[in-house]
């Protein structure tokens, strides 16, 4: 695996800007504020797996409140109207969109899985290492997008 | 006109419907399908005037749906709305007869540009 096909935090930032512009902040008044963030104690984590020529995961993690805000923005409804199903569906779709866009940067023979969403517990990916993370707050709630690469491939020395 | 919207994500089907409206394509009959098999069967049963389909779905992928329809002589206008956008996929979509390839995240302007030839 060469660095040429390893997505970077700049790639994640570019994808996030498109997602915020299209769905989460179309009016440009509620941006993702990049910077330090603490892990949400009771959050939502959505992921898609990438397999084939590149092995790893794209993970979108945020607090329950941020997931509720995201669902309200995606579905054009009030946060009080958002159901748990809305939250998990929207978080899964967020992971799917980011993962699909990341796929276009990876070797051609890489497949994206259907999304997987975990609520109220940490999402763990054994035998992987985090290769980049876009982290910050959205509407004062923690929000992060990260990429994890399978360790056996990640540890191959660069040529 | 009748439009079939195929996506395994309920949220994305709602967003596609909203975006169609925002793009000025109001007043059409809408049919939804939650996986590729449903999309194929609905395309046969409902005879839509346009299919707007995700690529990566359970049961059948969008490209499998399109290929199966074309193999059976069904030439319904068909396009993709997907977060995956490799050159190979776009070439495969075009070769199979897709009219458009919209990448998520998308805007109403992109829908208008891609669908105006079909929906007027």
Q: How many domains does one find in chain B?
A: 1
Across all residues in chain B, what is the average pLDDT? 94
CA distance A74 to chain B (A): 7
Is residue B97 predicted with pLDDT exceeding 70? yes
Query: Considering only CB atoms, which chain B residues are within 8 Å of A22?
Result: 105-107
**Do residue A101 and residue B11 have CB atoms under 8 angstroms apart?**
no
Is residue B20 predicted with pLDDT exceeding 70? yes
By Cβ distance, the residue of A21, A86, A114 closest to B8 is: A114
Question: How far is the C-alpha of A22 from the C-alpha of A16, rounded, in Å?
Answer: 10
Where residue B56 sits, what CATH number does that domain have? 3.40.50.2300
The confidence band for A124, taking pLDDT boundaries of 50, 70 and 90, is confident
Would an 8 Å CB–CB cutoff place A104 in contact with chain B? yes
Token pair recorded at residue A75: 């579905």
- Range A83-96 burial, b when 16+ CB lie within 10 A, else e: eeebbbbbbbbbbb
Would an 8 Å CB–CB cutoff place A97 in contact with chain B? yes
Residue B96 lies in a domain: yes
- Residue B95's pLDDT is what? 96
Question: How far is the C-alpha of A124 from the C-alpha of A128, rounded, in Å?
Answer: 9
| Sequence spans of domains, chain A | 3-26+37-154
Residue B117 lies in a domain: no
CATH code of the domain occupying A3-26+37-154: 3.40.1550.10
Residue B92 lies in a domain: yes
Is residue A51 predicted with pLDDT exceeding 70? yes
The confidence band for A154, taking pLDDT boundaries of 50, 70 and 90, is low
CA distance B4 to chain A (A): 20
Encode chain B in three state secondary structure: CEEEEECCCHHHHHHHHHHHHHCCCCCCEEEEECCHHHHHHHHHHHCCCEEEECCCCCCCCHHHHHHHHHHCCCCCCEEEEECCCCHHHHHHHHHHCCCCEEECCCCHHHHHHHHHHHHC
Best B11, B60, B61, B106 residue to mutate vs chain A (most A CBs within 10 Å): B11
Mean pLDDT to the nearest integer, A86-90: 95
- Range B50-65 burial, b when 16+ CB lie within 10 A, else e: bbbbbbbbeebbbbbb
Across all residues in chain A, what is the average pLDDT? 88
Would an 8 Å CB–CB cutoff place B1 in contact with chain A? no
Residue B9 lies in a domain: yes
The reply to whether ipTM tops 0.85 is no
CA distance B35 to chain A (A): 12
Question: How far is the C-alpha of B31 from the C-alpha of B34, rounded, in Å?
Answer: 10
Query: Considering only CB atoms, which chain A residues are within 8 Å of B87?
Result: 108
């Amino acid at each position: 695996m060469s660095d040429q096909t390893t997505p970077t935090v700049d790639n994640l930032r570019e994808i996030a800007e498109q997602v915020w512009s299209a769905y989460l902040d179309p009016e440009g008044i509620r941006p993702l504020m990049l910077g330090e963030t603490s892990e949400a104690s009771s959050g939502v984590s959505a992921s898609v797996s990438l397999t084939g020529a590149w092995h790893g995961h794209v993970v979108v993690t945020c607090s329950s409140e941020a997931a509720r805000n995201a669902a309200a923005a995606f579905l054009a409804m009030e946060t009080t109207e958002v159901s748990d199903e809305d939250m998990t569906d929207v978080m899964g779709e967020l992971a799917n969109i980011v993962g699909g866009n990341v796929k276009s940067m990876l070797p051609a023979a890489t497949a994206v899985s259907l999304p997987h969403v975990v609520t109220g517990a940490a999402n763990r990916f054994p035998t992987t290492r985090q290769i980049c993370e876009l982290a910050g707050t959205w509407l004062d709630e923690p929000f992060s997008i990260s990429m994890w690469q399978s360790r056996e491939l990640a540890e191959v020395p660069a040529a | 006109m009748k439009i079939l919207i195929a996506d395994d994500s309920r949220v994305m089907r709602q967003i596609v419907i909203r975006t169609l409206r925002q793009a000025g394509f109001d007043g059409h009959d809408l049919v939804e399908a939650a996986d590729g098999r449903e999309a194929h069967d609905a395309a046969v049963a409902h005879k839509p005037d346009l299919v707007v389909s995700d690529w990566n779905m359970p049961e059948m992928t969008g490209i499998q749906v399109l290929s199966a329809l074309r193999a059976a002589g069904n030439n319904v206008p068909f396009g993709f709305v997907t977060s995956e956008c490799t050159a190979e996929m776009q070439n495969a979509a075009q070769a199979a007869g897709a009219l458009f390839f919209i990448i998520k995240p998308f805007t109403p302007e992109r829908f208008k540009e891609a669908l105006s030839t079909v929906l007027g």
